[in-house]
Amino acid sequence: MIKIERRDETSNLIYFLTPVLAIFLTLVAGAIIFYLLGFKPSEALKFFFITPISDLYGLSELLVKATPLCLIAIGLSFCFKSNNWNIGAEGQLTFGGIVGGGVALLFYNHEGFYVLPLIILAGAIGGMIFAMIPAILKIYFNTNEILVSLMLVYVSKLLLDYLVVGPWSNPEGFNFPETRQFSDSARLPILFDGLRIHAGIFIALVSVFLAWVVLFKTYLGFQIKVSGLSLKTAKYAGFKGKTMILLVFMVSGACAGLAGVGEITGPIGQLHRMISPEYGFTAIIVAFLGRLNPIGIVFASLIVALTYLGAETAQIFLQVPKYTGQVFQGMILFFLLASDFLLFFRIKFLRFKKYEY
């Protein structure tokens, strides 16, 4: 008979090492998959994980991809830590992009230092407002925030679709589904000539620091932590549960909105249908891989960003679909959850016992 027991205590070291184990297992499983597809595993993995970052351009691309993932995951960690399941960061990112992009289009022929901050602010507010919808519905109507936030993703994506083919499409754009190019003052500055890495990375780093301070050093962070561990205790201590739901969703939405506006004012420079390769969903994996810890999230975002790049190189060199990247992301989450199970429980093998009376 197999018996599953809860472990008494798990050490902090193991807690942060299991993500490393999960990544290792992902690599092993990935090697097996490549082998079954008829590739040489070591070579395939090299194309996937080493080649993309073997030059400066690759490293810059890694940071370009990691920036939005990190930002969104930081926001999500506020929600997840307090037991609020915001699955709609992709929608908040899109809506933030729409609002920020709208402001950018408004100023398409303006130049000035004030343009960019205005756009960024508008994007953050856009994401925030969009995230408040599931929060308010949860507070007043007890709806399930997982469903509401997820469904709102499609609302914002369809809205973006409508805008870029309809009212906001570029008048000189030959009916391509995209808007005008933003003006130069509406773009995040590029850090190095010839590379795409942009100033958005500083927004991400500042938010990492702020999140760390708030989560670990403030009363708000303490309340978030307690609510996540036991809602009963939070109620008993008299924390304002409803205000907190709203607040964590606002933080989360603002971060996703910032990520969206960072994309359109950074690498993209206009609005079109595909402003995000599902960063909002992938960031959920990043948040958990980083153990909902701001520092952990920084590392996790780099690793998951690599799967995006790896998928592209693999597509070129191995002729496999780029969705291989999602397979790897899925495997990371799968192995993380699996190793977490062993972290909190132990499996015991028992001999059959005879009952005696």
From the list 27-35, 69-77, 211-219, 314-322, the region that binds other proteins by CB under 8 A is: 211-219
Q: Is 191 in the site for other proteins (CB under 8 A)?
A: no
Q: Which is nearer to other proteins, 137 or 214 (CB)?
A: 214
Round to whole Å and give the CA distance between 99 and 91. Answer: 12
Round to whole Å and give the CA distance between 27 and 53. Answer: 17
Helix (H) or strand (E) holding 283: helix 279-289
**Least separation, in Å, of the C-beta of 213 and other proteins?**
9
Beta-carbon contacts of 24 under 8 Å, excluding residues fewer than 6 positions away, are: none
CB atoms within 10 A of CB 110: 13
- Site track for other proteins across 223-262, x = CB under 8 A: --xx--xx-xx-xxxxxx----------------------
CB atoms within 10 A of CB 4: 9
**Least separation, in Å, of the C-beta of 247 and other proteins?**
13
Q: Is 222 in the site for other proteins (CB under 8 A)?
A: yes
Residue numbers 145-164 binding other proteins by CB under 8 A: none
Q: Which is nearer to other proteins, 113 or 355 (CB)?
A: 355
Round to whole Å and give the CA distance between 199 and 187. Answer: 10
- Please, are residues 260 and 95 in contact by the beta-carbon 8 Å criterion? yes
Contacting residue, 113, 349, 352, 355, with other proteins by CB under 8 A:
355
Q: Which is nearer to other proteins, 52 or 221 (CB)?
A: 221
Helix (H) or strand (E) holding 4: strand 2-6
Assign 6 to helix, strand or coil: strand
The pairing of beta strand 2-6 with beta strand 345-349: antiparallel
**Least separation, in Å, of the C-beta of 9 and other proteins?**
7
Round to whole Å and give the CA distance between 18 and 70. Answer: 20
Q: Which is nearer to other proteins, 1 or 36 (CB)?
A: 1
Round to whole Å and give the CA distance between 204 and 185. Answer: 20
- Judged by CB under 8 A, the number of residues near other proteins is 22
Q: Which is nearer to other proteins, 42 or 243 (CB)?
A: 243
Q: Is 210 in the site for other proteins (CB under 8 A)?
A: no
Angle formed at CA 128 by CA 127 and CA 132, multiple of 5 degrees: 115
From the list 122-130, 210-218, 244-252, 292-300, the region that binds other proteins by CB under 8 A is: 210-218
From the list 61-69, 221-229, 271-279, 320-328, the region that binds other proteins by CB under 8 A is: 221-229
**Interface positions with other proteins (CB under 8 A):** 9, 216-222, 225-226, 229-230, 232-233, 235-240, 355, 357
